[in-house]
Amino acid sequence: MNSARSLILHTRFFKANILVLQHFSGVFRMFVRVSAEGNQEHIAHTEVKAAPGSSCVKRRLLKAFVM
């Protein structure tokens, strides 16, 4: 089953929309859209493969995104 979770982080200096999609095959995709002051927008995405329900999914997504 496919599922999606989203999170919005809003601070004084930027707004970030984070969307994590889980595909039934165990592929997780994370999309991040950051809007900064001056209406500059940056979009990035990454994906990792992990077993559904795995406790290391967040760590793998963040590690892949930072690299």
Mean pLDDT of the chain: 73
pLDDT of residue 45: 76
Using DSSP's 3-state secondary structure scheme, residue 61 falls into helix
In 10 A of CB 18, how many CB atoms?
16
CATH number, domain with residue 8: 2.20.25
* pTM across the whole model: 0.57
Question: For 8-55, how does the pLDDT look when each residue is reduced to its tens digit (9 = 90+)?
Answer: 777 777 787 877 777 767 777 878 888 877 677 777 777 777 766 666
Write out the residue range of the structural domain in which residue 29 sits.
Answer: 3-66
How many domains is the chain built from? Answer: 1
Using DSSP's 3-state secondary structure scheme, residue 22 falls into strand
- pLDDT at residue 65 is higher than 70: no
pLDDT of residue 1: 47
Please measure the distance between the N-terminal and C-terminal CA atoms of the chain and give it in whole angstroms.
Answer: 29
Q: Under a CB-based contact definition with an 8 Å cutoff, are residues 43 and 33 in contact?
A: yes
pLDDT of residue 32: 81
